[in-house]
Chain A
Amino acid sequence: MIRFSRLWKIYLFYTIVVVAGITLTGFFLEHKLRNTLKTHVKREVLTLAKVIAKAVPETKNVHALDSFCRDYGITAQVRVTLIERDGKVIGDSETESLNLSNHLDRPEVQAAIANGVGDALRYSETLQVDMLYVALLLEARRRVIRLAMPMTDVKIIENQVMGFFAVALYLTPLFTLIISLMFFRYLKSDRDGPP
C-alpha cells in the first residue's frame, strides 16, 4: 500500500469533507437564492403591472398609448408593452409599437391570455442580462399589459454570494492544510506527553 503519512491522511480527509460540504451547500444555495429572488421580483413587477393597468387610457390611438407606456416606463424603470388579445402591439415604451411584430407567440402573453397572468425569463442580447417578463390580462379591455424588468439586481446579489463561495472553495486546500498541520501537531504533542 502507498505509505501516506498521518499528516497526509488528515489533510486528505479534511479536504474532501470540506470541499464536498461547500460544493453541496453552494449548489443548493444558488438554486434557492435564484428562485427566491425571482419570486420576489415577479411579485413586485406584478404589483406594478396592476397599478399601471388602472391608468391605461381607453383610447386605441397607438401614438397616445406609446407615449403613455414611455412615461410609465421611465418612472417605474421597466419596459411597458400593451398588446391586443390577437397579439398586435398597440403601445410600447422603448420602440414605436407600429414597428413591432405580433407578440402572440410570446410564452408570457399566451399564459396571460389563458390564465390571467403569465411570466417568462429570457436572455436579452441587447442588455446582456436575463429579463423577467410579466404579463397581465385586462379582461374588461381585452388587452394584455406586459412589463419587462432586467434581472440586474438579482444577478448582482447572486454574484456576491457565489463569488464568496467560489473563493472559499478555491482556498479550501490551503485552509485545510493549515488546520491539518495544527491538528497533527496537537496529536503529536498529546502522544509525546509533557516534557
Chain B
Amino acid sequence: MWKILSGVFLGWSLGANDAANAFGTGVATGAVRYGTAILLTALFVLLGALMEGPKCMETVGELSRLTSTEAFCCTLAAGITMTLLTYGGIPASASHAIIGSIMGAGVLSGLADFSKLFRIVSCWLFTPVSGILFGYALHRLLGYILDKTVSKIRYRNLIYSTGLLTAGSYGAYCLGANNVANVTGVYVGSGLLSPTVASLVGGLSIAAGTLTYSKKVMLTVGKGIVPLDPFSALVSVLASALTLHLFTQVGVPVSSSQAMVGAVLGVGIVGDVRTVSLKMLTKIGAAWFLTPISAGLLACVFIRWVG
C-alpha cells in the first residue's frame, strides 16, 4: 500500500495549486474569507470525488495497463514534474502530467492505447474553448437578468457574495469530481485500489493540500492574474466549473486552470476588461508542451531505474 504515497503527494500538490481556481477570485475580491474558502473547498472537493470521481478513473486506468510499481512511478513522476514546473512559475496541469507519465510508461511497455490518448488530447484542446463559450454566454445571460431584476447596488453585492460562495463550492465539487482520477486513477487501472477507495484517498489528499498549502497560490491567482470585478469573478468560476463538469460526464480529466483561463477570456470578450496577459498565455503555452513530455520522460527513467 506504500505505493499510493506518491499519489497522495500528487493529490496534495494538486489541492495546493488548483484550489485557487474555485475561490481565488472570491478571496481576491474580498467577497469570501480565506478560512471559509479553504474549508468549503476541502469539503466539496471530497464530495465531488466520492460522488462522481470514478467517471474519469476508467479513462485513466485504460490508457495503459500498468503494474502497481509502474503506477507508483507514474504518480511520482507527475508529482515531481508538477512541483518543479510550478516552482519555475509555469502553471503545470496535473491532468497533463499524469497522462504524460502514463503514456511514457505505456510506450515503454508497448501497452499504450493511442485511441484513448486522441480522445483525451481533443478534450484538452476543447477545455479553454468550452470555458470561453460558457464564460461569454453566462456573462450575457446573467448580466441581462440582473439588469432587468435587481437595480439596488446593496442587493447586487449580496447576490455577488452569495453567488461567489455557491459557485466556488460548485467549482470545488467539479474539481474533485474531475481531477481525483489524476491522483488515484492509475491505482484503479493497476488493480491496487477499488474506484470508491481511490476516490476517498484522492479526495482526502486534495483536501489536505487545500487546507495546508493553498494560501499563497490562492492570493496570487486571485489578485495577480485575473483582476476582475465581483460579477465577472462569479461568472468565471461558474463557467470553469461547468466546463469541468461537462468533461467529467465525458469521462476525461482536464486542466482546471485552462478551464478558468478560457472562462476569463470569455468574460473578457463581453466586458470591457483586459484579462489574460500575453506573458500569462506564453506560460500556459510552455506548460502545454513541457508538462506531459517531462512527466513522460521522468516516468520512463523511474520505471527503468526501479525495473
Residues of A within 8 A of B (CB): 1-3, 16, 19, 23, 26-27, 30, 128, 158-160, 162-163, 165-166, 169-170, 172-174, 177
B275 close to A159 (CB less than 8 A): no
In the complex, chain B residues whose CB is within 8 Å of the CB of A128: 65, 111
Given contacts A26-B122, A166-B121, whether A2 and B265 have CB atoms under 8 Å apart is: yes
Nearest A-chain residue to B115, judged by Cβ: A162
In the complex, chain B residues whose CB is within 8 Å of the CB of A159: 112-115
B268 close to A2 (CB less than 8 A): yes
Task: Determine the distance from Cα of A159 to Cα of B116 in the docked complex, in whole angstroms.
Answer: 10
Nearest A-chain residue to B267, judged by Cβ: A2
| Pairs A–B under 8 Å by Cβ, sample size 25 | A1-B272, A2-B265, A2-B268, A2-B269, A2-B272, A2-B273, A19-B126, A23-B122, A23-B125, A26-B122, A128-B65, A158-B115, A159-B114, A160-B114, A162-B115, A162-B117, A162-B118, A163-B114, A165-B118, A166-B118, A169-B118, A169-B122, A169-B125, A170-B121, A170-B292
Assess whether B302 is interfacial by the CB under 8 Å rule: no
A166 close to B117 (CB less than 8 A): yes
**Chain A nearest CB, measured from B266 CB (Å):** 10
In the complex, chain B residues whose CB is within 8 Å of the CB of A166: 114, 117-118, 121
Q: Which of A3, A16, A26, A173 contacts B118 (CB 8 A)?
A: A26
B118 close to A2 (CB less than 8 A): no
Nearest B-chain residue to A23, judged by Cβ: B122
Assess whether B285 is interfacial by the CB under 8 Å rule: yes
Assess whether B274 is interfacial by the CB under 8 Å rule: yes
In the complex, chain A residues whose CB is within 8 Å of the CB of B273: 2
**Chain A nearest CB, measured from B103 CB (Å):** 9
Q: Which of B260-291 touch A at CB < 8 Å?
A: 265, 268-275, 285, 288-289
Give the size range of B's interface with the partner.
Answer: 20 to 34
**Chain A nearest CB, measured from B102 CB (Å):** 13
**Chain B nearest CB, measured from A33 CB (Å):** 10
Task: Determine the distance from Cα of A89 to Cα of B36 in the docked complex, in whole angstroms.
Answer: 66
**Chain B nearest CB, measured from A85 CB (Å):** 37
Assess whether B164 is interfacial by the CB under 8 Å rule: no
In the complex, chain A residues whose CB is within 8 Å of the CB of B269: 1-2
B121 close to A169 (CB less than 8 A): yes
Known A-B contacts: A128-B111, A169-B122, A170-B121. Give 6 more (CB < 8 A). A2-B269, A2-B272, A128-B65, A159-B115, A166-B117, A169-B121
Given contacts A2-B265, A2-B275, whether A30 and B118 have CB atoms under 8 Å apart is: yes
One digit per residue, 1 when the CB lies within 8 angstroms of any chain A CB and 0 when it does not, for chain B 90-106 equals 00000000000000000
A163 close to B272 (CB less than 8 A): no
**Chain A nearest CB, measured from B120 CB (Å):** 8
**Chain B nearest CB, measured from A127 CB (Å):** 11
In the complex, chain A residues whose CB is within 8 Å of the CB of B285: 173, 177
In the complex, chain A residues whose CB is within 8 Å of the CB of B234: none
Assess whether B129 is interfacial by the CB under 8 Å rule: yes
Nearest A-chain residue to B292, judged by Cβ: A170
Task: Determine the distance from Cα of A26 to Cα of B265 in the docked complex, in whole angstroms.
Answer: 28
Nearest B-chain residue to A169, judged by Cβ: B121
Task: Determine the distance from Cα of A154 to Cα of B280 in the docked complex, in whole angstroms.
Answer: 43
Task: Determine the distance from Cα of A172 to Cα of B289 in the docked complex, in whole angstroms.
Answer: 11
Nearest B-chain residue to A164, judged by Cβ: B114
Task: Determine the distance from Cα of A83 to Cα of B169 in the docked complex, in whole angstroms.
Answer: 59
**Chain B nearest CB, measured from A190 CB (Å):** 24
Q: Which of A3, A30, A163 contacts B274 (CB 8 A)?
A: A3
In the complex, chain B residues whose CB is within 8 Å of the CB of A169: 118, 121-122, 125
A173 close to B288 (CB less than 8 A): yes
In the complex, chain B residues whose CB is within 8 Å of the CB of A30: 115, 118
Nearest A-chain residue to B65, judged by Cβ: A128
In the complex, chain A residues whose CB is within 8 Å of the CB of B129: 16, 19
Q: Which of A1, A19, A158, A173 contacts B114 (CB 8 A)?
A: A158
Nearest A-chain residue to B107, judged by Cβ: A163
Task: Determine the distance from Cα of A156 to Cα of B269 in the docked complex, in whole angstroms.
Answer: 45
Task: Determine the distance from Cα of A160 to Cα of B126 in the docked complex, in whole angstroms.
Answer: 23
Task: Determine the distance from Cα of A54 to Cα of B65 in the docked complex, in whole angstroms.
Answer: 39
Task: Determine the distance from Cα of A2 to Cα of B114 in the docked complex, in whole angstroms.
Answer: 38
**A1, A170, A172 interface centre (most CB from chain B within 10 Å):** A170
Task: Determine the distance from Cα of A163 to Cα of B113 in the docked complex, in whole angstroms.
Answer: 8
